[in-house]
Structure 1
Amino acid sequence: MTFNKNSMLMALMLSFSLMLFSHNSQAAIDTFEFDNAQQEKTFHELTKLLRCPKCQNNNIADSNAELAKDLRNKTYELVTQGQTKEQVIDYMVARFGNFVRYDPPVTPITIFLWLGPALFIIFGLLVLFRQIKKQPTKATVLDTEEQEKLQKLLKQHVKDTK
């Protein structure tokens, strides 16, 4: 059996594309079985409410990180044990802190998360107001001494240009 350049190139491209796209086919899909529809609903709500500590801006339902997978499994375990949403959230907060919640409660520690954007805007407006206030007005009134100097400069300029 002989191969020409075209068939070798095609075989190489085919094997490369198989290697490139085979990784996605190995992705695992989580399947969970629940005792009732309420448990399933609670599980799905919780996985959307809890943030992945590794990904930081993904919830554990959308994240593919191993830590998110572990948190989904733990959430499933706690929900099937009959724990409420609040109990599961309390469990996760006890282990990961309020960061694991997308909507952390207002506490002395998290107050800056809630007030930070407003304080930043107020500070920016104050700086802007002070800068505007410092700028001189366009119509500056000259005293008599300054007016005399200006007239001398203008006369000198007229003489030099002639």
Structure 2
Amino acid sequence: MAQRMIRALLALCCLLLAGSVLAAIEVREFEEPVLKERYESLNSALRCPKCENQAIGDSDSPIAGDMRERVYQLLQDGRSDREIQDYMIDRFGDYVLYNPRLSGRTWLLWGLPAGLVVLGAVIIGLLVRARRRSANRSLSPEERERINALINRERTE
């Protein structure tokens, strides 16, 4: 009797596990391979609003599944990648894009790294120029005479 219950529980557990594994697999049919590539590209370019830094293609959250379904439907309707991204931005905000577009709110995000590189190059250029000037500068006859006098004075003392 006890063995039957244990077997029944094990069978139930196996069925539940198998059901959850099968539920995570989504099968999408595409008439053209280009659509499948676009679908995969969009799934990797769009971020799940619930998960932290996870693309909708990699996320198991229900909202990511809904977003994948919507991307699939919009592709089947003949929408462009830009139109699909605009739809997702309207619905979920700029956070949904891994690479935000250049706009008034994101100019600092895109411009700051380039500005820092330019600033660093200018500073390095100024430092190199200052060192070259100091290395190329030779002593005037008056400076040499003064140095020699100081050296001689130290020797005599």
Q: Normalising TM by the smaller chain, what interval? A: 0.5 to 0.7
Q: What is the correspondence of 1:4-153 to structure 2 with a 5 Å cutoff?
A: 30-34=24-28, 36-38=29-31, 41=36, 43-53=39-49, 54-56=51-53, 58-63=54-59, 66=61, 69-77=62-70, 79-80=72-73, 82-83=76-77, 84=79, 85-135=81-131, 136-153=133-150
Percent of pairs with identical residues: 22
Runs of 4+ in 1 over 4 A off after TM superposition: 25-29
Q: Which residue of 2 aligns with 1:8?
A: none
What is the aligned-residue RMSD (CA, Å)? 3.4
Tell me the alpha carbon deviations over residues 84-111 of structure 1, each in whole angstroms, 9 at most, x when there is no partner: 3444422321133333223433333333
Q: Is the 8 A contact 2:48 2:96 kept in 1?
A: yes
Match of 2:154 among 130, 152, 157: 157
Report the AA paired with residue 152 of structure 1: A
Structure with bigger helix share is: 2
- Aligned in 2, Cα 1:87/1:32: closer, same or farther, shift over 3 Å? farther
**Unpaired segments ≥5 residues, structure 1:** 1-24
TM-score (norm 1): 0.58
TM-score (norm 2): 0.59
Aligned length: 131
